Chains A and B, each alone.
Chain A
Amino acid sequence: MKHLKQILSIFTVAIFIFSCNTPERSVGMSAWEGVEDMKWHIGTQSAVDIAKAMDAAWQARNYDEMRNYISDTATITSSNGYTFESVDAFIERRKSNDSVWDSNGSTFEWSFTNLFSVDLDPSTGGEHVHADYFGTYTEDGKADNFRVMNRYYIIDEKIVMWNSYFQDIIEETSE
């Protein structure tokens, strides 16, 4: 009887330890070259925090701070398909837009509605952070609303690839 109790106790502890160390669950598929056999895992909060911090810097027009979250070799492609020549070119475009909007009294405001991160291979660096944005551009009192999904590929706390996807919102009152 004593042995039975001991065996049960050891068995239970073993299962307890094993259950908490089973590989993380994964779902879905990828056809990207080299990772076709992999499925998606949930990412980490630290990658999400990079996207949040980058957004906060952008909202504050603190482009030096924003630059810190973007890799020197990052590829940034906007929803119209334009890929910026460099990160500096992207930052310069932001400053140029700010200048135009300030001079003509227009505003561009946005807020993110969702942020999450997924990862094909948690054993190597790199996560895909998805950020949903709701944006409003206002000029001469007329507002244009839209949604954007930004996808950032983040390695070692830097954005290496940034792709923007667009969805228009048809304004029912004006169109």
Chain B
Amino acid sequence: MKKTNFSIIISSFLILFSCEMNQSSVGISNFSDDGKVYKWHLGSESAVDVAKNLDDAMKDKDYTLLRNFLSDTVRITSSNGAVYDADSFINRRIEIDSILESRNASLNWEYSNIFTVDLDPTRGGEHVHVNYSGKYEDENGADTWNSINRYYVIEGKVVRWDTFTQDIIDKDTE
């Protein structure tokens, strides 16, 4: 019976280990703080949820809630290269809301895809990618674009936020 118990323990270990090994990884990265070469794994649904919740808060202009999803040391870089910390970013959002209101303009966006990848699933931190399409509209017309926001999320907080943009040439106006 002892032998049987031992076999079960060894087998269980093998099962768990084999499933862990089954997680595929691809690609290349030079994001490395220890000299090791890492490949990319799929991330977790909880990191995706942070991006979704953050978007909801931003749409609702609930900046207190939005602040909860940002780390105190967050670094936010917009596509024009401007860099913000949490407070300066939220102040900028409030300022933009005010400008939009005064111009009777609107700024809308929708995400079309969210996924997350992770260099080292044994440690915290995932890179969540969100595809957006955005539209600014005022009395002079509309401007549209596509964006990718990349959030580096650790323990439910965004630590780094980078925005990359692709213009859309509006055939009606350009």
Give residues in A with beta carbon < 8 Å to B.
1, 4-5, 8-9, 12, 15-16, 19-20, 22, 24-32, 39-45, 47-48, 52, 77-83, 112-118, 130, 146-149, 151, 163-170
Contact = CB atoms under 8 A, between A and B. Distances in A.
Interface-centre pick from A31, A44, A114 (highest chain B CB count, 10 A): A114
Contacts, number: 152
Interface of B: 1, 4, 7-8, 11, 14-15, 18-19, 22-31, 39-45, 48, 77-83, 110-117, 129, 145-148, 150, 162-169
A43 B42 CA distance: 9
B25 to A, nearest CB: 7
A3 B117 CA distance: 46
B164 A116 contact: no
Contacts of A42: 24-26, 40-42, 117
A25 B113 contact: no
A78 B19 CA distance: 41
Contact of B164 (A9, A32, A83, A148): A148
Given A29-B114, A113-B30, A168-B79, A147 B164 contact: yes
A146 to B, nearest CB: 8
B31 A114 contact: yes
Given A12-B8, A165-B148, 19 more contacts: A12-B15, A19-B22, A22-B19, A25-B42, A27-B45, A27-B116, A29-B48, A29-B114, A31-B111, A42-B40, A79-B167, A114-B29, A116-B40, A116-B117, A118-B117, A149-B148, A165-B164, A167-B164, A167-B165
